[in-house]
Structure 1
Amino acid sequence: MLPLTREQEASLGLELATKRQEHSDLDAAIQTLTDSHVADRMLIQRLKKRKLALKDRIVQLETILIPDIIA
């Protein structure tokens, strides 16, 4: 993998922070909807699917920004 420029690293770092916040917000929304016992199950499933997609992207970004160091 080619080394990242500072601009690329900053951009990916910002995206990572944004995705982490969105993941946290979705988690809170899902919990609130689940606790309400009034929410549409399909809505909750869609939110959970979006949350999983965010988690996958977070892992990708972390892999790019924090590469494995073979000792």
Structure 2
Amino acid sequence: MSREDIMRRLEALRVEHRDLDSAIAALADTGGGDQMQIARFKKRKLRLRDEIVLLEDALVPDIIA
């Protein structure tokens, strides 16, 4: 995967992460939100965060001190 591919993937993941944040907030604010759906969104958000961290780490070169 090239650096540009990683950057594009990172941006897509960040957008999805923000969208999930908005969806979770909207469901919580309405009070009628399904708790299982909110839990699924939160799990998905955590998986996205993990993938974002892995890709960000891939962009940083390993430097042996």
Return the TM-score normalized by structure 1: 0.83
The yes-or-no answer on 1:66 pairing with 2:34 is no
The 5 A counterparts of 1:18-37 are 18-37=12-31
Secondary structure in structure 2 of the residue aligned to 1:47: helix
* 5+ residue gaps, structure 1: 1-6
Aligned pair count reads 65
Select the structure of larger CA radius of gyration. Answer: 1
**How far, CA to CA, are the matches of 1:52 and 1:43 in structure 2?**
14
Sequence identity percentage: 49
**How far, CA to CA, are the matches of 1:67 and 1:31 in structure 2?**
36
**Residue 5 (structure 2) aligns with:** 11
Structure 1 outlier segments of 4+, above 3 Å? 67-71
Q: CA RMSD in A?
A: 1.4
How big is the shift at 1:56? 0.1
Return the TM-score normalized by structure 2: 0.90
